Amino acid sequence: MKSIRKYLYFNTDNRMELINITGQVRSILKESGIKDGLCLVNAMHITASVFINDDESGLHQDYIEWLEELAPHEPVSQYAHNGFEDNADAHLKRQIMGREVVVAVTDGKLDFGPWEQIFYGEFDGQREKRVLVKIIGE
């Protein structure tokens, strides 16, 4: 069995951003030479997420607005967690959107359904964070 481990690094301009990372994951898969296996992609920070969905700008805006309604950033005083930091909402948003995805690898390709893409969700941005891509298989 072969494996490859790579990190993707992000430092977003905005506090909350959704970034399509499918192309970067595909590049790592190609580099690995793995034809059949599993690909794990996970956020290595507790205020960021990795998830699968459609790459449609209206949907992304809906996500951002919905998450902000569920866990608004302000007023920061509404959260017991906030004190030294003001990012309790980002922890909650990450919990909703999830930590990681696992995608089957078949014939050297990510085995997606129609329209599926991998996204990095940042909820407390403007500092460097990383995403792990680990692929195992033959």
User: What is the tens place of the pLDDT at every residue in 4-53?
Assistant: 999 999 999 999 999 999 999 999 999 999 999 999 999 999 999 999 99
Question: What size, in residues, is the chain?
Answer: 138
Q: What CA–CA distances, in Å, run from 84 to 73, 76, 108?
A: 15, 11, 46
Contact 94, 42 (CB under 8 A): no
Tokens linked to 44? 């290595």
Q: What are 51-72's pLDDT values in tens digits? A: 999 999 999 999 999 999 999 9
**Residue 56, Cβ density class (10 Å: 0-12 exposed, 13-18 middle, ≥19 buried):** exposed
pTM of the model as a whole: 0.96
Cis check: omega of the bond before 75, within 30 degrees of 0? yes
Q: pLDDT band at 84, cuts 50/70/90?
A: confident
Q: pLDDT band at 125, cuts 50/70/90?
A: very high
Instruction: Give me the DSSP letters along 42-89.
Output: EESSTTEEEEEE---HHHHHHHHHHHHHHS-S-SGGG-SS-SS---HH
